[in-house]
Amino acid sequence: MPSRSHELFEAAKRRIPGGVNSPVRAFRSVGGEPFFIESASGCRVRDVDGKEYIDYVGTWGPAILGHAPAVVIEAVREAAGCGLSFGIPNPLEVEMAETICRLVPSVERVRMVNSGTEATMSCIRLARGFTGRDRIIKFEGCYHGHVDSLLVKAGSGALTHGRPDSAGVPAALAALTVALPFNDLDAVAAAFARDGREIAAIIVEPVPANAGLYLPEPGFLEGLRALCDAHDTLLIFDEVMTGFRLAPGGYQELCGVRPDLTALGKVIGGGLPVGAFGGRADIMDHLSPDGPVYQAGTLSGNPLALAAGLAQLRELERRDGWEALEALGAAFEAAVRETISGRPLTFHRIGSMFCLYFTEGPVRNLADALRSDRAAFNRYFHACLDAGVYFAPSQFEAGFLSLGHTADDIAATNRITRAALQE
């Protein structure tokens, strides 16, 4: 008898391109069909056929407290009782702006949007408007949303589906984007030597998490900051994933490098659609209505999303959440490293983010990540899924821990992954 998930997927394919509303969900990279979720709580999701999974995707990052935390549900319920959307300023916008500026070291002014893509798109437009220049430097494997000028050697779903560039992006626009290897400061210096007077900004995930997860080498981000300063170029950190997850102030708090603009999202929405971008006051003041750079959004500052995000951030601070997540991540890492000892695998973790590469290290950039044995990963993924552990359906995605995970969940996951690696 066909499963309910199969029936839903067949129905979805008749009306939704590929049957999904975001490409990686289609399972094309790993094979098979996606399952459809009926409910989620803590670190577990339950599909429409009644099967339960320990979840390490966490809505691709926002579920830092776990799924459906009571404090967030109650905040949304209370906000909904006052209205779902206004299109007029509301007090939660001010509270969220004050919270972001308090927590993120580089943000003096901030504007809310509805997704990480909107946040990065707005950063790029603002950087070009502020500097009067057109060229952008990005890094291979870094995904900054489906923005035309940034879908050049991108990661995430574009990488998973073997199309790192997208049809529909004008060649003339793509030509304004210079894509360089991550962790290669010499390549960045050479690009500035060639085009320095034309480069408006460097945009970078300070910890790339859309081609798996790899880390900046010592001095790399500091070198980007110095090159930008020397050429009057803006430095943009895309902290949509790392913001409020690795530390209250994101990775920039940990590394001590201060970008000019920062893109944010995920955690600050508590699971509802949200994004934000902010930075130096003199740059942000170029936005309309005060300045000449236009940006707008009907649902920006939505009260439900802001209520959810504020409740989540308050709970993280109340529970010393980042310290707890680091302890949980360290325990998870110890279990994984014991399991993979002696195998040609590479494990990366920072805080509550992780990736297991099916290749021998080191993995320091996209080229290294692409050496991974994707067929071996696919077998591992399905073995884990069958046993009730859900990792991201792609070798090139990060995994996420939450405060909903427990030591027992980690132990159960370790038993399942150990068995999966032996198949």
Query: What is the pTM for the complete model shown?
Result: 0.95
User: Does position 158 have pLDDT exceeding 90, yes or no?
Assistant: no
* Domain ranges across the chain: 4-68+319-422, 70-317
d(CA 192, CA 172): 20
* Residue-wise pLDDT tens digits, 220-247: 999 999 999 999 999 999 999 999 999 9
CA distance 347 to 398: 11
Stated as kind and residue range, the H or E segment containing 326 is helix 321-340
pLDDT for position 324: 98
Let me know: does 200 contact 120? Beta carbons within 8 Å: no
| 132-159 average pLDDT score | 78
- The answer for residues whose C-beta is within 8 angstroms of residue 131's C-beta and 6 or more apart is 200, 201, 232, 233, 234
pLDDT in tens, 97-136: 999 999 999 999 999 999 999 999 999 999 999 999 999 9
Q: Is residue 161 very low, low, confident or very high in pLDDT (cuts 50, 70, 90)? A: very low
Question: What does the pLDDT read at residue 159?
Answer: 39
The predicted structure's pLDDT at residue 148:
74
Backbone angles phi, psi at 47, to 5 degrees: -85, 175
- Cα-based torsion angle of the residue sequence 349, 352, 357, 362 in order, rounded to the nearest 10 degrees: -20
Strands (E) located in 73-153: 109-113, 135-139
Separation CA 316–CA 69 (nearest Å): 12
pLDDT at 146: 84
CATH architecture of 4-68+319-422: Alpha-Beta Complex (3.90)
Tokens of 89: 């300023």
Mean per-residue pLDDT, 402-406: 98
Q: What is the arithmetic mean of pLDDT over 12-17?
A: 97
pLDDT in tens, 337-357: 999 999 999 999 999 999 999
CA distance 117 to 139: 16
Read off the pLDDT band of 162 (50, 70, 90).
Answer: very low
**Domain with residues 70-317, CATH architecture:** 3-Layer(aba) Sandwich (3.40)
* pLDDT(1) > 90: no
- Determine what percent of the chain is predicted with pLDDT higher than 90: 91
pLDDT tens string 178-194: 999 999 999 999 999 99
- Specify the pLDDT at position 153: 61
Please determine, for residue 287, whether its predicted confidence score (pLDDT) is greater than 90. yes
Give the percent of the chain with pLDDT over 70. Answer: 96
Answer yes or no: is pLDDT of 280 > 90. Answer: yes
Predicted confidence (pLDDT) at residue 250 exceeds the cutoff of 80: yes
In the 8-state DSSP scheme, what is residue 150? Answer: G
CA distances from 14 to 9, 221, 262, 350 (A): 9, 46, 39, 41
Rg (the chain; Cα; Å): 21
Report the catalytic residues. Answer: 143, 238, 266
- Above 70 in pLDDT, residue 155? no
Which one has a higher pLDDT value, 392 or 158?
392
Locate tokens 């050429």: which residue?
231
Task: Please list the residues that pair with 45 across neighbouring strands.
Answer: 40, 53
The pLDDT value recorded for residue 165 is 60
